Structure 1
Amino acid sequence: MFTSLQPAHYLRAFPASQFVDDRCCQYPSKHCKKPRAVKRNGELHRFCELHREIANRNQRKLDRKRRMRKKQLLLSLKYITSLCGPNT
């Protein structure tokens, strides 16, 4: 018969602090006891709503910086090639 309980010897080998509740937010830099947000399909996100908002905001900021760097690089390459003139 299948049971979700772990054998007693396994549980004694690890302190209780090492077990993470799968239903709690898994934000890496802080211990957050808030429940994980639920996806549209019913599965759980890794973070709670607050930490999802923070992570999404940070990701958008990083993406914006990458796009700007790429755009500046392309503009500088165009400028350099315009200074060099046509290839002969």
Structure 2
Amino acid sequence: MTPPHLQCQYAYKTCTNPRTMKRDGHVHKLCAYHRSRANSVQKTYAIKRRQRTQELRQDKETVVSSFEPIPFVVDAPLAVQGDDLVALAVLFDTDILDEMEFLSTVHQNDDDSFHCLL
């Protein structure tokens, strides 16, 4: 029988197999059987982790490369049409046309007062 301090220290079940020796002469924590199982599980996990990181890297590359910039033209007219205001009024259920008339009246009054100053 193996002395207790040289028995496999497998955590989930008592194992009386002797611990394996390292190349430097020290003892491993596990026996040869549990070391081989732990190493195979670790290899499987490492392979899955590498595949996952590779897939994430490929996904990032495809997402970045699939976007194209929207062309921007500085000389394009930016005026708001009357139909646009009606559509906004319908969408937001506000009377935006009245607000626009109010703003134009305020600006006309400002222009009149500005002309009086000249």
Question: TM over 0.5, yes or no?
Answer: yes
Code of the residue aligned with 1:83 in structure 2: it is: S
Alignment of 1:40-51 (within 5 A): 40-51=23-34
Which structure ranks higher in relative contact order (CA pairs < 8 Å, sequence separation ≥ 6)? 1
Alignment partners' CA distance in 2, 1:47 and 1:79: 45
Number of equivalenced pairs: 68
Quickly say closer, same or farther: Cα 1:34–1:84, change in 2 above 3 A: same
More helix by share: 2
Task: Decide which structure has the larger Cα Rg and report it.
Answer: 2
Partner of 1:78: 61
Q: Name structure 1 gaps, 5 residues minimum.
A: 1-19
Alignment of 1:6-85 (within 5 A): 21-85=4-68
1:29: how far off? 1.2
Alignment partners' CA distance in 2, 1:38 and 1:22: 13
Code of the residue aligned with 2:20 in structure 1: it is: A
TM-score by length of 2: 0.54
User: How well do the aligned residues superpose, as a CA RMSD in angstroms?
Assistant: 1.8
1:75: how far off? 0.4
Q: Name structure 2 gaps, 5 residues minimum.
A: 70-118
TM-score by length of 1: 0.72
